[in-house]
Every structure is written in C-alpha cells, then in structure tokens.
Amino acid sequence: MRNLNYIAIEGPIGVGKTSLAKLLSKRLSAKLVLEKFEDNPFLSEFYDDPARFAFQTQLFFLLQRYQQQQDIRQVDMFHNLLISDYMFIKDRLFASLNLDDKEMNLYDSIANMMERNVINPDLIIYLQADTSILMKNIDKRARDFENNISYDYINALNEIYTEYFFRYNDTPLVIINTNNIDFVNNADDLNQVIEYIGQPVSGTKFFNPSASL
C-alpha cells in the first residue's frame, strides 16, 4: 500500500461500504471511523414518512458527521492510516434528494460553514452496483428501519451518486464496479480490490473486476 493517510469509502445504500471499510482496516491495521446511522432517532420515521421527517433526519446526520470529522482532525494521520465508510459530502447528496427548496436553502447555509473545517481524504473509493443488487443486499441484511425503503428511492440515490462522482475531481478517486464480486465472502475478490487500490492513483481510475472462480 502506497503512502496514504486517509481513505474514505463511498457509495449508495447497500453497496458494502461498511463491510469493505472493516475488512480494509483489519488487513491494513488502520483506525476505523464508521457512520453511526443507528443513532439517528428520525431514520425509521423518515422511511415511513419522508416528506415529514426528511429535514430532521438530514440535520441530525449533518451535525453528527461534522462532530466525527472534528474528531478525525485529532488523529495523527502521519502515523496512523485512517479508513472511513463515508465522506462528509455524502450528506449533501442525500439532502439534495430528500429536501424541498426551502429546506435545502437552510441546509446549505449550515453545511457550507461546516465544510470549511473538514479534511479531504487522500483517496476516495466509490463502490458502484446496479440498483437491483443494492435492493438484494438491503433485503439480505434485514435492518428494521429499512423495511419500507423503496426501489425508486434507491434508484434515485444511485443516480445521484453516479452523477456526482462522474464529475468528481477534488481528490484521487477509484471507482469499483461491485456487480460481479463479493469481497465479503470471497478472499480472492477482496485481494483484487486491495491490490488495485494499492496502485498509484492520479485523477480517476475505474476498476471493473470479474468474479473469482
């Protein structure tokens, strides 16, 4: 693994961000920073009634993630590799999908101030998957608060992620198509991913691995 201090893994719901972050942190002896989505008291209500609970849900996540980002600033990343299963900007992607215009204007006024104090990762790993695969993964993990999540919502979110990372150029970026691999249950697939992200990255690189036999 080349000299990296901070890796963030991104992608839509159900793509395997947390699983990969945990596997990489174990393999690379890195400090792990995970989203605490289960702490959001509005999340299950949001999936039941998005219009009513979207703003509360987004604001809670924004404040929670900002606090985590401030904690990250205290980590000595010159001596400790840090791996996170999200990047701070993700909250804005969800907000753009979930909030109406007035709510988004208020959200922006808060988020813009916070983003000035956020550290950019040295590398972003963006995990891609077809919406049908995301839905299968969501069903498989059977989280209670995701029971009412719809195909249309995940598909819209998937499109927002695709559009955002198509234009992304702030930091080195590796885009991995996960449709044909299972890095959780197949060690060879995980090794493929680790070997690829260990290569030098300048700009954006695309990795489209095939499933191991």
pLDDT 10s digits, 140-166: 988 877 888 899 999 999 999 999 999
DSSP state, residue 145? G
Within 10 angstroms of residue 97's Cβ, the number of other Cβ atoms is 16
DSSP string for 180-202: T--TTT-HHHHHHHHHHHTS--S
In this predicted structure, the answer to whether residue 213 has a pLDDT above a threshold of 50 is: no
Residue ranges of alpha helices (H) inside the chain are: 17-28, 43-48, 50-72, 90-98, 101-115, 131-141, 151-167, 187-197
In this predicted structure, the answer to whether residue 36 has a pLDDT above a threshold of 80 is: yes
Average pLDDT over residues 118-141: 94
Check if the beta carbon of residue 53 is closer than 8 Å to that of residue 106.
Answer: no
Check if the beta carbon of residue 156 is closer than 8 Å to that of residue 42.
Answer: no
Query: Whose CA is closest to 178, among 143, 141, 142, 126?
Result: 126
The per-residue pLDDT for range 60-113, each reduced to its tens digit, is: 999 999 999 888 877 766 667 899 999 999 999 999 999 999 999 999 999 999
pLDDT at 145: 78
Check if the beta carbon of residue 157 is closer than 8 Å to that of residue 13.
Answer: yes
Domain ranges of the chain: 6-207
Beta bridge partners of 204: 173
Q: Which CATH architecture has domain 6-207?
A: 3-Layer(aba) Sandwich (3.40)
Handedness of CA 7, 185, 187, 130 (dihedral sign): negative
Q: What is the pTM for the complete model shown?
A: 0.91
The per-residue pLDDT for range 193-210, each reduced to its tens digit, is: 999 988 887 889 999 987
Confidence of residue 212 (pLDDT cuts 50, 70, 90): low
Q: What are phi and psi of 103, to 5 degrees?
A: -65, -40
